[in-house]
Amino acid sequence: MSKKMLGDIMREAQKLQAEMQRLQAEAKTKTVEATSGGGMVTVVANGGGEIVSLKIEKDVVNPEDVEMLQDLILAAANEALRRAHQMVNDEMAKLTGGLQIPGIGGLGNIFG
């Protein structure tokens, strides 16, 4: 492989890495929403893997059944995080043409 080809490949890799970093930063500003209990619990998460809001309808708050409320919150939170993960993966796939590049970008460093 010539030095010119290697240089071209390195430049393209650097461009790709910069674009992936931009997408990751942009993803933190985008949100997804998930609900459980027929809309009684709503969770909003961002593309950075953070829960940014939680809404609980008064009707679902029952001091005699706290476990149900906990289950609804967990279900909505897990679904919101799953959707956020998918949103970022979809954006990364557009950038890489669906190619899985180990160790570069993706959600590995966001969601662990």
Looking at domain 28-98, its CATH architecture is: 2-Layer Sandwich (3.30)
Q: Any idea where the domains of the chain sit in the sequence?
A: 28-98
State pTM to two decimals: 0.74
pLDDT tens across the length of the chain (112 residues)? 788 888 888 888 888 888 888 888 888 999 999 999 999 999 999 999 999 999 999 999 999 999 999 999 999 999 999 999 999 888 888 877 766 655 544 444 444 4
Angle at 89 between CA 84 and CA 94, to 5 degrees: 130
- Are 60 and 69 in contact, with CB atoms under 8 Å apart? yes
The H or E element spanning position 52 is strand 51-56
